[in-house]
């Protein structure tokens, strides 16, 4: 990242931890940069999943963003102070322990 | 608020931007809708911000970037309206298009609608492809384009196709690591592609560029394994090993990330939802909508241009977009048929710089047949976690095609609505039944095309 770009950084909170990201990043990109590993669990099997296509096709990147569940994190651009969290429940209910 | 335009273009990639700019210049009241926050589509993703941020344009894609920026500037300078971050969730006959901006749904009516929804990467399920740390090459390239993200050390790429080499070259040029490439292109593809050499030689630039990219990757010391016949991702909660079969042996490599690619196919979700006629393209091994020379679909008032109507690449997509815009202007009555044809003549000549090479590329990078039919335990439908075995069992119970299999298994009923698994599931079903893909077909697509909340719907004025 060059000097000019670093002036364009904003802070988001990935699983509660602050992270400086580029203003053009997506929430899914921020999760990846945060080293989050997985971003959701499958509501069917509980398996850990992570963004796969990054262009709105696969829906693997569903996350809780600013408290709203099931957002396609690859389609959401970061905003200052955005809270980006893993989606591990269905409608707030833990389906897998 | 519901609105009316003469010409509505869906998708702000090369085809959509060129179409919108062309129509607007002719005085057609035009709106370009796109689901991304910025214009460019996937090929020119982040093209404006890359310029603004002063990021050095890598040499390998400098010409592409310049073309994309020019196209974007022409569109921005035109009188066409532009609505970003908007998703289309229903298309109706008569040019009624239902959209949402994530807060409120609305209906846009247009006399002509152009679908320019581009391409997506071919879904090719393999063991472990759902593990975190496995993503497509296209996904990694989007991260590179939007935020200059480079992969970690010990990143391996597996698959086939021009994008794979372009991405590897971009990473290397940017100083990033690619540990190795598992090239699944079958050796026999080279011989089969020879019959299309004449066309390829007419568009020599494509071949020269492809060879230059491969040479650059090789020179950088990237390990390249040719003729790989099977790939598996392994790991506990994250990919840690790639296992592959080549030269009669299974081998393993430790990986931090694994990127997959098997070419691109038309993103035909929108055209299929319209009920437009589609054809099976044996050479591109995908379904594409039937279009005439202007891009007109079988549904009145609707047209398609660019990769969503059959893979042609970015440059030909832009030309097709312009042709579709001329036809829209004629249909609306802004120009005569004669004017349309005069304007179209140089565009048709331009297409010959890009289209003759396609059959050669399609054949050279045709996916390995054995990879298209994964073994029993592989998840085909990621959303509903449906395995190839479950699909085969459904066929065994008498399900004839994808739509019956869907009802039997829930394959394709998850949030992605069969976007990702559709073609892969059809391949499994076709092989299990022993019939062709044309006969097998794909999932029907029903609205809403993207999830819409009741709150958004409640805002719809009817």
Q: What is the DSSP string of B174-190?
A: TT----EEEE---HHHH
Q: What is the pLDDT of residues B398-440, one digit of tens each?
A: 999 999 999 999 999 999 999 999 999 999 999 999 999 999 9
Phi and psi (nearest 5°) for B446? Answer: -125, 150
Per-residue pLDDT 10s for chain A (97 aa) are: 443 444 589 999 999 999 999 999 999 999 999 999 999 999 999 999 999 999 999 999 999 999 999 999 999 999 999 999 999 987 777 766 5
Kindly report which listed range (B46-60, B221-235, B395-409) carries the lowest average pLDDT score: B46-60
Give the model's pLDDT for residue A3: 39
Give the model's pLDDT for residue B147: 85
- For tokens 């247009």, the residue is B110
Could you tell me how many helices (H) and strands (E) chain B has, helices first?
17, 21
Give the model's pLDDT for residue A5: 47
Smallest CA–CA distance, residue A86 to chain B, in Å, is 13
SS3 (DSSP) at B69: helix
CATH number for B194: 3.50.50.60
Whether B138 sits inside 8 A of A75 (CB atoms) is: no
Give the model's pLDDT for residue B173: 94
Q: How confident is the model at residue B243 (pLDDT cuts 50, 70, 90)?
A: very high
Q: What is the pLDDT of residues B5-20, one digit of tens each?
A: 999 999 999 999 999 9
Q: Which of A1, A53, A74 lies at the smallest CB-CB distance from B121?
A: A53
Instruction: Report if residue B365 sits inside a domain.
Output: no
Give the model's pLDDT for residue B49: 84
Q: How confident is the model at residue B368 (pLDDT cuts 50, 70, 90)?
A: very high
Q: What is the pLDDT of residues B259-315, one digit of tens each?
A: 999 999 999 999 999 999 999 999 999 999 999 999 999 999 999 999 999 999 999
Chain A contacts of B131, Cβ < 8 Å?
48
Instruction: Report if residue B360 sits inside a domain.
Output: no
CATH number for B387: 1.10.10.1100
Q: How confident is the model at residue B57 (pLDDT cuts 50, 70, 90)?
A: low
Give the model's pLDDT for residue A97: 57
Look up residue B460 and give its two tokens: 């719809």
Smallest CA–CA distance, residue A91 to chain B, in Å, is 14
Phi and psi (nearest 5°) for B379? Answer: -70, 125
Q: What is the DSSP string of B233-274?
A: EEESSSEEEEEEEETTEEEEEE-SEEEEEE-EEE--HHHHHT
Domain, as residue range, for B20: 3-120+265-335
Instruction: Report if residue B174 sits inside a domain.
Output: yes
Look up residue B76 and give its two tokens: 């921005």
Please report which helix (H) or strand (E) contains residue B342, including its range. helix B337-351
Is the domain of B102 the same as that of B53? yes
- Any idea what DSSP says for residue B58? P
Q: What is the pLDDT of residues B132-174, one digit of tens each?
A: 999 999 999 999 998 889 999 999 999 999 999 999 999 999 9
Give me the number of domains chain B comprises.
3
* CATH code for the structural domain at A3-85: 3.10.20.30
Please report which helix (H) or strand (E) contains residue B47, including its range. helix B47-52
């Amino acid at each position: 990242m060059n000097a000019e770009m670093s002036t364009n950084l904003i802070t988001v909170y990935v699983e509660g931890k602050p992270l400086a990201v580029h203003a053009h990043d997506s929430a899914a990109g921020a999760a990846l940069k945060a080293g989050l590993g997985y971003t959701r669990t499958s509501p069917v099997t509980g398996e850990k999943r992570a963004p796969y296509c990054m262009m709105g096709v696969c829906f693997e990147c569903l996350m809780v963003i600013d408290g709203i569940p099931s957002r396609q994190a690859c389609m959401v651009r970061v905003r200052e102070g955005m809270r980006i969290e893993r989606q591990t429940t269905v409608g707030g209910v833990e389906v897998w322990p | 608020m519901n609105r009316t335009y003469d010409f509505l273009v869906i998708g702000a990639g090369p085809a959509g931007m060129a179409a919108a700019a062309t129509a607007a210049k002719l005085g057609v009241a035009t709106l370009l809708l796109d689901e991304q926050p910025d214009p460019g589509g996937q090929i020119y993703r982040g093209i404006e911000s890359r310029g603004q941020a002063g990021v050095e344009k890598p040499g390998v894609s400098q010409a592409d970037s310049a073309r994309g920026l020019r196209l974007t500037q022409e569109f921005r300078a035109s009188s066409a309206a532009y609505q970003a971050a908007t998703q289309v969730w229903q298309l109706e006959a008569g040019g009624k298009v239902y959209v949402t901006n994530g807060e409120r749904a609305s209906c846009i009516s247009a006399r002509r609608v152009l679908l320019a929804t581009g391409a997506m990467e071919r879904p090719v399920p393999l063991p472990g492809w759902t593990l975190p740390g496995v993503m497509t090459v296209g996904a990694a390239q989007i991260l590179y384009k939007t935020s200059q993200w480079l992969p970690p050390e010990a990143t391996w790429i597996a698959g086939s196709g021009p994008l794979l080499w372009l991405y590897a070259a971009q990473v290397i040029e940017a100083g990033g690591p690619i540990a190795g490439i598992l090239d699944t292109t079958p050796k026999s593809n080279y011989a089969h592609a020879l019959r299309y050499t004449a066309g390829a030689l007419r568009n020599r630039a494509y071949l020269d560029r492809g060879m230059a990219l491969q040479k650059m990757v090789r020179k950088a010391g990237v390990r390249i394994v040719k003729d790989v016949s099977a790939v598996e991702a392994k790991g506990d909660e994250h990919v840690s090993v790639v296992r592959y079969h080549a030269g009669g042996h299974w081998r393993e490599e430790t990986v931090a990330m694994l990127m997959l690619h098997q070419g691109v196919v038309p993103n035909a979700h929108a055209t299929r939802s319209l009920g437009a006629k589609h054809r099976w393209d044996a050479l591109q091994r995908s379904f594409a909508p039937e279009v005439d020379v202007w891009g007109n679909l079988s549904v009145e008032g609707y047209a398609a241009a660019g990769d969503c109507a059959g893979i042609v690449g970015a440059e030909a997509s832009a030309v097709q977009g312009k042709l579709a815009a001329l036809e829209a202007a004629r249909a609306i009555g802004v120009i005569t048929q004669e004017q349309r044809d005069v304007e179209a003549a140089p565009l048709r000549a331009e297409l010959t710089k890009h289209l003759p090479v396609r059959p050669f590329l399609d054949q050279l990078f045709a996916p390995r047949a054995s990879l298209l039919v994964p073994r029993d335990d592989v998840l085909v439908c990621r959303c509903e976690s449906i395995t190839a075995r479950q699909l085969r069992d459904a066929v065994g119970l008498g399900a004839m095609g994808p739509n019956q299999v869907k009802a039997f298994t829930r394959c394709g009923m998850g949030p992605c609505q069969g976007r990702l698994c559709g073609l892969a599931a059809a391949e499994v079903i076709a092989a299990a039944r022993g019939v062709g893909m044309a006969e097998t077909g794909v999932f029907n697509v029903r609205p809403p095309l993207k999830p819409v909340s009741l709150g958004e719907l409640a805002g719809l004025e009817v």
